[in-house]
Structures are given as structure tokens and as C-alpha cells.
């Protein structure tokens, strides 16, 4: 759907507009705690991650590994999740936006949200497509490293576990949006040229 058709279609209603970082912080804090399928899956993933770490700890005798290897591995995963995976995460988003018809895309680092952001200008994305994009990046940078950790050893094991956990925190904004959209069967996200994000839903 084109931006003009969405904004001028009386069958779609503007539900919410978000402009700055403070509004995003409130949005994330509110909807990441909502009880729905999205947040339940997120909670289950974190719980599985906790049990997985406990399993690795006792069965791989991680306590016997030198502390410096723990420090190097966990720090390495943190640095990757701060400096590399955010760029790749948002690059995948931008390529998907381009594929779905975005004409102009801007990149910037947001210090308040402590994340690398991509903004498609005057672009509409459906709920289903947004779910696909967010699901792909979450699997790639959180679930896959966690699975690979079971086949790794020493520093690489800690690095993969650290990356998996810290990217799950980074992806909280995407998951909060998915949580917000969950209860609306037919809805769209509109990114304006003024760096504003607007959510639309269909009305009878």
C-alpha cells in the first residue's frame, strides 16, 4: 500500500505517532511487558537461555575454565553486539525496506536508545512484513548464536552466548513494536520524512 492511499483511506485510522527517543523509551517499556504471544515467546527464549547456560556450565565444566577466557569471551560478544551486529541488523532491515519499496533510507546512531537506527522516509510496511523482518534478524543474531554455542568451546562458546543475550536486549524495540501490533489483525507502520513513525489500523 502506498503512503498516500493509507493516509487518505477512511478505512484506516491513525492509532499512535512516535517522534522522539523519549516516546520510544516509554513505548518499549510499556509494550515489552504486555502479555501476548510475542512477549511470551521472548520470555520463553530468555528462560531457555538461562537453562541452556546452566546446562553448559555443569556439563561442559565451565567453572574449570580460566576466568580470563570468560572475560575475553563475554566482552567479545558484548563488543560484537554493540559494534557489529547492530550494523548488520539494521542493514538487513534497510535491504528489506528497499525490497518492499522504500525509496530513501537514513542511518543514524541514537544515543538515548543506545542503538543504530535505520529510517525509511515516506514508506509503509505491513504488520506481516515487519514480523518477517524482525523474526529473521532475531533468529540470525540471537537464536542461531545460542544454538552454535553448544558446538563451540572456550572463548568462542562465551562469545556466542554473550552475543545471543545482548542482541536479544538490542532487539527489544523491534519486539515491543511486534507486541503492540499483535492485537491488530490488519495494520501498517508508516515512516514519515520528519523521522516520525505512525501506526495505522483498519476500522469497520
Tens of pLDDT, residues 115-168: 777 888 888 899 999 999 999 999 999 999 989 988 877 778 888 888 898 899
CA distance 62 to 97: 42
What is the domain partition of the chain in residue ranges? Answer: 3-202
The strand pairing partners of 189, in sequence order, are: 125, 199
Nearest to 102 by CA among 141, 138, 137, 130: 130
CA distance 145 to 139: 9
| Helix orientation angle between 172-181 and 154-170, rounded to the nearest 10 degrees | 40
Taking a C-beta distance cutoff of 8 angstroms, is the pair 94, 121 a contact? Answer: no
- Whether the CA torsion 180, 42, 82, 130 is positive or negative: it is negative
- Give me 175's grid cell: 519486539
Higher pLDDT, 175 or 21: 175
In this structure, what are the phi and psi dihedrals at residue 53, rounded to the nearest 5 degrees?
Answer: -65, -40
CA distance 80 to 78: 5
Tens of pLDDT, residues 93-117: 999 999 998 888 887 776 666 677 7
CA of 44: how far to CAs of 74, 143, 155, in Å? 22, 12, 26
CA distance 142 to 108: 23
Q: Cα-atom radius of gyration of the chain, to the nearest Å?
A: 19
For the entire predicted model, the pTM comes to 0.86
Amino acid at each position: 500500500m502506498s503512503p498516500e492511499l493509507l493516509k487518505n483511506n477512511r478505512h484506516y485510522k491513525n492509532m499512535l505517532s512516535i517522534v522522539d527517543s523519549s516516546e520510544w523509551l516509554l513505548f518499549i517499556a510499556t509494550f515489552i511487558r504486555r502479555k501476548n504471544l510475542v512477549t511470551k515467546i521472548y520470555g520463553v527464549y530468555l528462560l531457555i537461555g538461562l537453562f541452556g547456560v546452566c546446562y553448559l556450565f555443569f556439563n561442559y565444566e565451565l567453572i574449570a575454565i580460566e576466568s580470563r577466557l570468560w572475560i575475553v569471551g563475554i566482552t567479545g560478544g558484548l563488543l560484537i553486539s554493540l559494534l557489529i551486529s547492530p550494523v548488520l541488523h539494521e542493514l538487513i532491515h534497510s535491504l528489506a525496506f528497499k525490497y518492499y519499496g522504500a525509496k530513501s533510507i537514513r542511518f543514524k546512531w541514537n544515543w538515548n536508545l543506545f542503538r543504530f537506527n535505520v529510517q525509511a522516509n515516506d514508506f509503509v510496511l505491513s504488520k506481516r512484513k515487519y514480523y518477517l523482518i524482525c523474526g529473521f534478524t532475531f533468529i540470525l543474531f540471537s537464536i542461531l548464536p545460542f544454538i552454535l554455542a553448544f558446538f563451540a568451546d572456550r572463548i568462542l562458546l562465551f562469545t556466542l552466548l554473550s552475543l545471543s543475550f545482548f542482541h536479544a536486549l538490542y532487539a527489544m524495540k523491534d519486539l515491543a513494536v511486534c507486541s503492540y501490533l499483535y492485537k491488530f489483525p490488519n495494520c501498517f507502520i508508516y515512516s514519515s520524512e520528519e523521522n516520525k513513525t505512525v501506526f495505522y489500523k483498519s476500522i469497520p
